[in-house]
Structure formats: structure tokens, C-alpha cells
């Protein structure tokens, strides 16, 4: 077993981190499963994320948790250094880079396939230089003007997410006459802007943006209509894990379920997404979600 020294970052070092180079872990997107839905393990290297803010803001702890998800079977580790929850404060690029780069480098060294969850082209550029293989951008129509050129230049998969406004304004923009039709129209218009800038259509992964500028009712309408999104001809990523609309649904005795109490509901949505043909799902509980998508795949094969 090799040893990787604790990386510098947002907190003090704790202990050396073991690095195991697994034999069968894909190091490229081409090696991802094609017989089941891909699982992206969520790694928030932030102090203020809605579910686990601060839990992995120390670099060593973030790396260890990323390795745990990797060894538990997560296909991709999605590393983010800026919270996208409603009313989250923007993070300067320099601060975001200080949070995510040591983690990306360590996970790539350990053999994990890494995506960078960022709205900033410069952060995406440096993370790709460090070995990340996918860019996951939740900015929606507020995308960084430099992002299309970067994605076109690097030729990497790019997750294009539906969102109206910013973290501060999106809740006020959750008004639709036909949420599914309008989200499809806005996503495809956004896709067309990226394609016009030189991004290959096959690079684009569509995310309908559960929780972004959508009420609970809007989110459920989108989930019921996932087949409409998969029919657009792009891979589809679904991110429901521990989100607010699940907490509302799972209210008990007048108390909204806390994020950590939403995992069973998250697994149910992941299974529904897999059954609807989603390419990938984002998950906090990576190991259980891998089991869920395997079950969905097996059930689909036996129809």
C-alpha cells in the first residue's frame, strides 16, 4: 500500500492518507458502466452546504470521504467547493480553488474518476488540469461566458443544468404555467447556445435541476416526466439526494425531515430515475445508491 501525505488545504492535516490503486476502477469516462445508471458520489468541500456543510471542509476529511465513496462503488466523485443551496453566498474563485484542488488531485491519484462541480470556468480549467474528467455546472442561464469555449477546447462531458437566476434569486423565479414544457424549452435553448459555441452535442449531459427555481410540486412533476428529458437525445443526470422537497414530503409530527433523514426517499428517487433511463444520479449515500440502480437495471432486463 502506498502512502499519500496529507494535502494542504482549508484545514490542518490529520494523518497520512492510504492510497489503494484499485484494479477495476475506470479512470476515464469511457470506462463508466453502460448496463446501469452511473452513480456520482457527492463531496461538498464547503462550510455551508445544506446537507453536510462543514463536515468535509477540512481537506484530509474530504479526501477520506471521497475515498470511502470511491471504494464503496461510486462511479464518479463529484467535488464541489461552493454551495448551490438557496441564498448561499458566492465564493471567490481563489477560495473555491483552495478548497477543491488538493481533493481532486488526491482522488485522481487514488484512481477515482472525478467531476468538478463548479460554476466558474477558471476552477473547471484548473480541476481538469489536475485530472478531473467531467464538468458539472449548475449555473443554468447565468453561466460563466468563458465556460463554452473551455468545454469545447477540452472535449469533456459537461453537465448543463436548468436553473433560473442565482442562488439568491432562484426561489422567487419558480413560476411556470407548464413546468416540464418550460424546463425542456429553456434547457434546449441553453444547449443550443453551447453547441453554437463549439461544444459537441454528445458532450452535453442534461440535468433538469431538481430544487433549482422549482417548488415541491414542480420537482415532482419533473420526476414524473423524466422520460421526456431522456427522449431529448442526451444523457440525463438527476440530482435529488437529500433535497428540500424530500424533507417536506417526509415531514413527521409536524417536523420536516432533516437532510440526513432523507436518504431512504433519495434512494427511491434514484431508483425511479434509473428506471426512467437516466444516465446518472447524484448521491450522498453512494453505496446504497449503487445497490438501488443495480436493482433497477436488473428489473428492466427482466421485463
Residue 158: how many other CB atoms lie within 10 Å: 24
Catalytic hit among 125, 163, 242, 282: 282
Catalytic hit among 99, 154, 243, 262: 243
255 is catalytic: no
Q: What is the DSSP letter of 45?
A: -
Identify which of 272, 285, 302, 284 has the alpha carbon closest to the alpha carbon of residue 37: 272
Cβ burial of 162 (10 Å; 0-12, 13-18, 19+) is buried
In this structure, the dihedral spanned by the alpha carbons of residues 116, 1, 73 and 261, taken in order and rounded to 10 degrees, is -80
Q: How far is CA 142 from CA 3, 45, 97, 120, 164, in A?
A: 41, 22, 20, 11, 8
C-alpha count within 13 angstroms, C-beta hemisphere, residue 205: 24
Give the list of residues 6+ apart from residue 250 with CB closer than 8 angstroms, or none: 256, 257, 261, 262, 265
d(CA 302, CA 68): 32
294 is catalytic: no
Residue 237, SS3? strand
Instruction: Quote the cell numbers at residue 221.
Output: 412533476
Active site residues: 243, 282
Amino acid at each position: 500500500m502506498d502512502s499519500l501525505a496529507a494535502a494542504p488545504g482549508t484545514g490542518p492535516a490529520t494523518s497520512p492518507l492510504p492510497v489503494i490503486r484499485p484494479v477495476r476502477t475506470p479512470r476515464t469516462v469511457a470506462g463508466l458502466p453502460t448496463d446501469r445508471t452511473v452513480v456520482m458520489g457527492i463531496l461538498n468541500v464547503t462550510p455551508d452546504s445544506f446537507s453536510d456543510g462543514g463536515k468535509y471542509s477540512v481537506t484530509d476529511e474530504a479526501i477520506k470521504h471521497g475515498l470511502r465513496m470511491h471504494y464503496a462503488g461510486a462511479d464518479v466523485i463529484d467535488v464541489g467547493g461552493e454551495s448551490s443551496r438557496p441564498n448561499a453566498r458566492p465564493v471567490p474563485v481563489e477560495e473555491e480553488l483552495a478548497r477543491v484542488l488538493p481533493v481532486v488531485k488526491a482522488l485522481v491519484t487514488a484512481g477515482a474518476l472525478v467531476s468538478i462541480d463548479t460554476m466558474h470556468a477558471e476552477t473547471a480549467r484548473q480541476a481538469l488540469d489536475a485530472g478531473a474528467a467531467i464538468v458539472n455546472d449548475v449555473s443554468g442561464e447565468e453561466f460563466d461566458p468563458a465556460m463554452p469555449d473551455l468545454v469545447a477546447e477540452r472535449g469533456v462531458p459537461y453537465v448543463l443544468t436548468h436553473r433560473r437566476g442565482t442562488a439568491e434569486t432562484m426561489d422567487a423565479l419558480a413560476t411556470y404555467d407548464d413546468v416540464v414544457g418550460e424546463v425542456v424549452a429553456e434547457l434546449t435553448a441553453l444547449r443550443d447556445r453551447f453547441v453554437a459555441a463549439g461544444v459537441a452535442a454528445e458532450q452535453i449531459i442534461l440535468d433538469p435541476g431538481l430544487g433549482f427555481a422549482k417548488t415541491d410540486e414542480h420537482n415532482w412533476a419533473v420526476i414524473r416526466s423524466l422520460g421526456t428529458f431522456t427522449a431529448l437525445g442526451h444523457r440525463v443526470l438527476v440530482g435529488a439526494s437529500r433535497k428540500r422537497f424530500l424533507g417536506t414530503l417526509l415531514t413527521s409530527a409536524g417536523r420536516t425531515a432533516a437532510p440526513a433523514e432523507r436518504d431512504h426517499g433519495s434512494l427511491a428517487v434514484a431508483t425511479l430515475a434509473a428506471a426512467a433511463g437516466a444516465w446518472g444520479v447524484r448521491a450522498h449515500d453512494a453505496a446504497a445508491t449503487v445497490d438501488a440502480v443495480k436493482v433497477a437495471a436488473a428489473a428492466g432486463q427482466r421485463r
